Every structure is written in structure tokens, then in C-alpha cells.
Amino acid sequence: MPQFKTGLKTTDFQEGTLIRKDINGQSIVFVMINGKLFAMDSVCSHEGGPLEDGSLDGYNLTCPWHQGIFDIRNAKASPATSWVTDLQSYAVIVEEKTEEISIDIDSVLFDKSTKEIETQKSPSKEANTPPLVEQNVLPKRPLDLELSLSEKTSIAGTDIMSFKFSRSDEHNYLNYKAGQYSVVNLGTNEDPEGPTRSFTIASSPSEKEFILISTRIRDTPFKKKLAGMDIGSPVNITAPMGEFVLPDDYSNSLIFLSGGIGVTPFRSILKYATDNQLPVKIMVFDSNRNQNNILYKEEFDEWAKLNKNLKIIYTITDDFSAADKEANWKGERGYINKVMLTKYLTRNELDNSIFYICGPPGMLNAMQKLLEVDLQIPKQRIKIEEFTGY
């Protein structure tokens, strides 16, 4: 049974104290609860938060950054915090005489986003394939891939910037589903929230030449470094992950509710659906403060002309400005609400569509209440992706 020594002993632990160890380039958090040791990945799957700085309530480990909850026993994400995804857990082995702690690497469960299989026992001699794990090392997630910045654009009248990173055939590592996200590492260790951020891949898998991300630029070391990067500068990006993607079955209509920068995963999905002329009806309700902040509008309008199954409703929430009047605004005004949805959706569409929500926490909570309470949409037909606007 392959094992990896951690350099820890049981005497290093107090009940409920979280200890992080970097083992073979992989960060793992350990904890003792009721005299039993547990181990799991220490980097939150949402924004890369340090779980060793989190809080424990029973077996629930809460991330200190955005309060994602994981079960320390199996690294499973809590349904109550749907913006995080499952991590990996490891069986802990204690040597009886020395009390030295090792990890049983046969227990590693890879999350679905890495497209790996579970670590298996060595195959029988009849098999001609080598065992998956042959050396006494921890299996690792795919290493970060280095991409280079090829284009950056500031959106006039907003604090939003878009960045394109070049890719080529050698970057098959970045095969992904429309709507997924990756973690970008800029090495900004001076940033109090760490050197990494999660970004939706706003480009479609059908756009083979580049990876696109769009974000609001904040007064943080990470965002300042990102905004100031020169063309050709390298960044490290992880394998795409996340379940905010198209369903396998296209028989149900899809309703997208987006707020501000939360529209980024929908760009990826809409471009993919249009390029492939998918037989799925999609209606987008895109809410922004004003017209300047409507990200990707020209592209969306063009795709709506090309895709008979796509319809987009824009709404602006700020007081109607002189600029809006001058532009002869014909879209909706105000926040997405029951009146707006029932204006465009039939009862049959409300009863049978799958709803996707993406935006800042306040908008997300309001949309959940609107769907579940006001419109009686069951939770199993609602998919959620939170944007924190870090």
C-alpha cells in the first residue's frame, strides 16, 4: 500500500487544531477530532482560500474568505454553500510505535473537474498496463500551465478590464466546458487575500486561439499587477473546473439571470451554443447599473441574430440618466423581479426551464428568493455561481 510520510506525529496535534503541511508540492490540512486524524486539500476550491485558517464546527470546516463549508472527513462541499466544489481527502495512517503519520495515497479521490480517475490498486499481472501509482509520491493535480498575455482592454466608463491569453494546440490541458473557471496565480504574496484568484473562462471552447477573462479592477496588489501587465507577460493558470455548465439534455429551456460581471460564464455558454447551433432555447436577463456596464453587449446582440434559440433582455438599475435618454434606451429598467420574468416567460417556461444565476452575493440571494419563494421554482432546477467582486 503506497504511503507518503508527512513529518508529523500525533503529539503535534491538539483537539480541533488545524495544521497545514506542503507535501510534494501539494498543500494539505490536518486536524484531530475526537482523537481521530483527518486530512484534506487545504486550498479552497472557490477562491483559493487557506483552509488552515478556517473555523471548525463539528466536522464542518469553513473557509475564512467566503465561508464555503467542507466536511473534514471526506472533503465534500456542503450543499449549503453551493459556490464551492468537492476537494480531495486522504486516509491518515499512524505508525503504532513511533506515532509517525503517513498518508495512504490509495485513498485519494480526484475531483471531477480534473478529469482524472480514482487512484486504483495495482492491476493484476494479466494486465499489460502499469499501475497508476508506482513511486512513493503523492499523485498531483495537473500542474499550472503558463500562458502569455496577448491583449488587454479597458471598458470605457467602467472599472472592468478584459484580458486575452494566447493558447495553442500544445495547451490541450485547457480543454474545458463552457461556463467553467480556472485559478490564476500572479505570485502576489503581499496581497492579504493571497496570490491567486478564480476567474470564469469567458471565452468559449470553440475559440481555440485564446483564453478570455474579464474582471473589475480593484485597489488590491493582485488586481493592480493584473491591470499593469505588459503584453507577453506570463501567467500560471490551473486546469478548468466547476459545474456551472450546460446540461447534457437540451429538452428544457434555459433561463440565465446575470448581474454585472457575473455575465462572464454566460458569454462562454452563449458563444458555444451559437457556434454549434445547439438545439436548446436560452433566454438571458442581464442586469447592470447603466448602459456602460453592459459587458459583451455587441457580441450578444450579434449572436442573437445568428441563433434563433437565443433571446436577451437587458435591464439597467441606476436612475435614468441623460446619456440613457440620449441613447434612446429601449431595454428594461429596474432590478430583475417577478413582474419582469412573467412578462417574458410563459407559465410553461417557468414550470419547466432550468435557471442559472450568476452575480454578486446580494443579487444571488435576491434571485434565489425570487425563484424559490415568489415563483415556486424547485431547487433542483436552479444552478448558482457566486461572484464576490474581490
Confidence of residue 120 (pLDDT cuts 50, 70, 90): very low
Confidence of residue 226 (pLDDT cuts 50, 70, 90): very high
Please give the pLDDT value at position 345.
Answer: 97
Tell me which residue of 179, 223, 170 sits closest to 201, measured CA to CA: 179
Other CB atoms within 10 A of residue 167 CB: 21
Give a yes or no: residue 18 inside a domain.
yes
Please give the pLDDT value at position 5.
Answer: 85
Q: Quick one: 105 and 185 in the same domain?
A: no
Count of domains for the chain:
3
Cell numbers found for residue 255:
433561463
| CB distance 350 to 324 below 8 Å | no
Q: Quick one: 229 and 269 in the same domain?
A: no
Please give the pLDDT value at position 4.
Answer: 80
For 65-79, 164-178, 185-199, 222-236, which range has the lowest pLDDT when averaged over its residues? 164-178
Q: Is the pLDDT of residue 179 over 80?
A: yes
357-381 pLDDT, tens digit per residue, is 999 888 999 999 999 999 999 999 9
Q: Is the pLDDT of residue 145 over 90?
A: no
Identify the CATH number of the domain in which residue 309 sits: 3.40.50.80
Please give the pLDDT value at position 96.
Answer: 81
Confidence of residue 39 (pLDDT cuts 50, 70, 90): very high
Give a yes or no: residue 244 inside a domain.
no
Q: Quick one: 360 and 259 in the same domain?
A: yes
Q: Is the pLDDT of residue 35 over 70?
A: yes
Q: Quick one: 261 and 361 in the same domain?
A: yes
Give a yes or no: residue 165 inside a domain.
yes
Identify the CATH number of the domain in which residue 233 sits: 2.40.30.10
Backbone dihedral region of 308: left (phi > 0), alpha (psi from -120 to 50 degrees) or beta?
alpha
Among 209, 237, 265, residue at a domain's last position: 237
Give a yes or no: residue 80 inside a domain.
yes
Please give the pLDDT value at position 138.
Answer: 39
Q: Quick one: 173 and 77 in the same domain?
A: no
- The answer to whether the pTM exceeds 0.75 is no
| CB distance 177 to 245 below 8 Å | yes
Give a yes or no: residue 264 inside a domain.
yes
As a whole number of angstroms, the distance between CA 72 and CA 291 comes to 45
Q: Quick one: 302 and 224 in the same domain?
A: no
Please give the pLDDT value at position 123.
Answer: 32
Please give the pLDDT value at position 330.
Answer: 86
Confidence of residue 167 (pLDDT cuts 50, 70, 90): confident
Strands 282-288 and 382-386: unpaired
Give a yes or no: residue 143 inside a domain.
no
Tell me which residue of 307, 261, 302 sits closest to 283, measured CA to CA: 307
Amino acid letter, residue 296: Y
Please give the pLDDT value at position 170.
Answer: 59
Q: Quick one: 173 and 280 in the same domain?
A: no
Amino acid letter, residue 111: D
Residue with the bigger pLDDT between 287 and 128: it is 287
- Point out which residues pair with 341 in neighbouring strands: none
Among 82, 109, 136, residue at a domain's last position: 109
Residue with the bigger pLDDT between 99 and 170: it is 99
Identify the CATH number of the domain in which residue 9 sits: 2.102.10.10
59-78 pLDDT, tens digit per residue, is 999 988 778 899 999 999 98
Q: At what angle do helices 264-275 and 297-306 cross, to 10 degrees?
A: 30
Confidence of residue 241 (pLDDT cuts 50, 70, 90): confident
Tell me which residue of 81, 64, 61 sits closest to 72, measured CA to CA: 61
Q: Quick one: 381 and 271 in the same domain?
A: yes
Query: Which residues span the domain enclosing 324?
Result: 254-386
Please give the pLDDT value at position 117.
Answer: 28
Q: Quick one: 294 and 200 in the same domain?
A: no
Angle at 268 between CA 255 and CA 206, to 5 degrees: 130
| CB distance 264 to 244 below 8 Å | no
As a whole number of angstroms, the distance between CA 116 and CA 110 comes to 6
Give a yes or no: residue 338 inside a domain.
yes
Give a yes or no: residue 91 inside a domain.
yes
